[in-house]
Structure 1
Amino acid sequence: MSERIPALKKETAPPRSKRGKMLIRLLIALAAILLVVLFFRSPLSKIDEIQVTGNEFVGREEIEAALGVVPGDSFFFPGIGKLKQRAEELEPIESVLIIKNFPGVLRVEVKEYPQVAVRLSSDGGMSAILSNGLVLPMPEGKLPDKPILSGWSADDANLAELCRALSDLPGYLLSDLSEIQPDPSVSYPKRIKLFTRSRFEVTTSIDLLKDKIAYLSDIVQNREPGKITMLDVDYYSPYSTEIVTE
């Protein structure tokens, strides 16, 4: 007895319209890849100009070397975070803002540690001291509008703390200071003497200076020149009350 074998189902090919859509999608994907490749090979994807602003104590060339990029390098790589990290490794720089303006402009806005003092060398040369204690050559043409540190040794452990304290002073008060000398005693190992351009002589301690700023500012702005003591007890004595003996 013979059995009828069922006929095999024919595999149906995708409709022409579906195959056409798949082909179009493939062509679009290939075109997109081609455009991306061409874009990254074009001048539009390269750095055309590097703008550096805000730097005074660190040179433009040094900043660009730290960034590790030059005109002609990729505009997109390294990323902003990596460039910022590289620039902030430079000691005079406190922070950096990196901005990429398409096409081709890389902006580097630098914020350096502020200058708080000036140091004179034995040959009369001047160096700038920043708030982080870093000592750098004074930029050419810059006038010394910050206090001169005299009598300090380069390895004095109190020097860095003094620089941090000076950075907390109001700008007008810092610019009024003309000279700062170490004046340690047994009771006050961090005692200093400050001399102002407005003719005040101030005795205080580095670790007390931050808490005494308001008192010092009030006297300098509102009293006649004299001597100020700002230690555990504060005193003010105008020069006009001093008794002159012959």
Structure 2
Amino acid sequence: MEKGKVVSLEDRVPKLKEHRKQKSNRRLILFLSVFFILILLVIYFQSPLSKVSSIDVAGNKTVSDEEIINISGITAKSGFWSIDEKEVNDALSDFEQIQNVKLDKQLPNKVTIVVEEYHKVAYIVKGDQYSPILENGKTLDPLEGTFPDDAPLLINWSKAEEIEEMAMELMSLPDSVTNAISEIYHTPEKTDPWHITLYMNDGYEVQASVRSFSKKMIDYPAIVSQLAPNSKGIIHMEVGTYFESFDKKDEAALEAADDGASLEAEPEGTEQNENEDER
């Protein structure tokens, strides 16, 4: 054997002892670390720091903070880490206007209940009471001491199925069109029990039918854009689409094309020219 390759047992023993000592020290340090961590966790969970110190509510409009907090079951005695989001969601599902709930936990012990409510599509008017209609078809209890202006008012509606049908049609419209509607009256006719009359925020009146309402009403902005700025009147959308001015009895527009929101305005003075030709 070559020189320098042979290591005597006496030389190896101190190194083995040192290696075992280092290994034992590492185990001891690991054991002590785990032990102290467990002690700290026990102290933490027994201390007020592990309990909820602050409960906030966000996203709610029709349900008060107090109602949501009370029904959620979260209190100052609740463990910060033991709150079950599914249990909170199930508890708050009793509110018909609440669609979804999420919990936002912020260290060390703050909880925010983030609420997503169903949108209001309209209000049913009965006397001086206004009952919100939600996008899920539910009608809430009347509001107290307020006049709503964030959704159309439904007036002269009595049957639940008709109200639900109207709400579904409103949900199919973009917000820009829905926000332009002030009031929707149920004005049934012999030929159409679903006939309605709308009063718009821009001064126009619309005659339409619930069954074809969303399909035709989606073109309302394009129709209005073709009318003279100062001309106000009735936009008929029952079968064809035409405009009738408040200032004169005759129609001021011809039927629109079937595939678009185009109104062909009747030229002013047409009747006068025809009379002159007859002369």
Please classify the TM superposition score into its range, dividing by the shorter chain length. 0.7 to 0.9
Q: Please, what is the CA RMSD of the aligned residues? A: 2.9
Q: Which residue of 217, 237, 240 corresponds with 1:233?
A: 240
Kindly indicate whether residue 249 of structure 2 is the aligned counterpart of residue 242 of structure 1: yes
Higher RCO (CA-CA < 8 Å; seq separation 6+): 1
Q: CA offset at residue 165 of structure 1?
A: 2.3
Question: TM-score w.r.t. structure 2 length?
Answer: 0.68
Q: Distance in 2 between matches of 1:105 and 1:211?
A: 48
Is contact 1:84–1:98 with CA below 8 Å preserved after alignment?
Answer: no
Q: CA offset at residue 99 of structure 1?
A: 1.4
Q: Which residue of 54, 62, 82 corresponds with 1:77?
A: 82
**Count, aligned residues:** 227
Seen in structure 2, the aligned counterparts of structure 1 residues 77 and 182 have a Cα distance that, compared at 3 Å, is same
Work out the percentage of aligned pairs sharing the same amino acid: 28
1:119-138 aligned within 5 A: 119-122=124-127, 124-133=128-137, 134-138=139-143
Task: Show CA shifts across 1:20-66 (max 9, x none).
Answer: 54444333322222211112222222211111122221121221133
Task: Show CA shifts across 1:135-181 (max 9, x none).
Answer: 2332555544533222111x421212212322343445434323212
Question: TM-score w.r.t. structure 1 length?
Answer: 0.76
Task: Show CA shifts across 1:77-135 (max 9, x none).
Answer: 2244543454355211233343111122212232322223233334x233333333322
Max radius of gyration: which structure?
Answer: 2
Determine helix, strand or coil for the equivalent of 1:158: helix
Seen in structure 2, the aligned counterparts of structure 1 residues 207 and 47 have a Cα distance that, compared at 3 Å, is farther
Residue 147 of structure 1 aligns with an amino acid whose one-letter code is P
Determine helix, strand or coil for the equivalent of 1:135: coil
Runs of 5+ in structure 1 lacking a partner? 1-14
Runs of 5+ in structure 2 lacking a partner? 1-19, 251-279
Seen in structure 2, the aligned counterparts of structure 1 residues 215 and 33 have a Cα distance that, compared at 3 Å, is same
Is contact 2:130–2:148 with CA below 8 Å preserved after alignment?
Answer: no
Seen in structure 2, the aligned counterparts of structure 1 residues 96 and 142 have a Cα distance that, compared at 3 Å, is farther
Task: Please name the residue that 2:219 is paired with.
Answer: 215
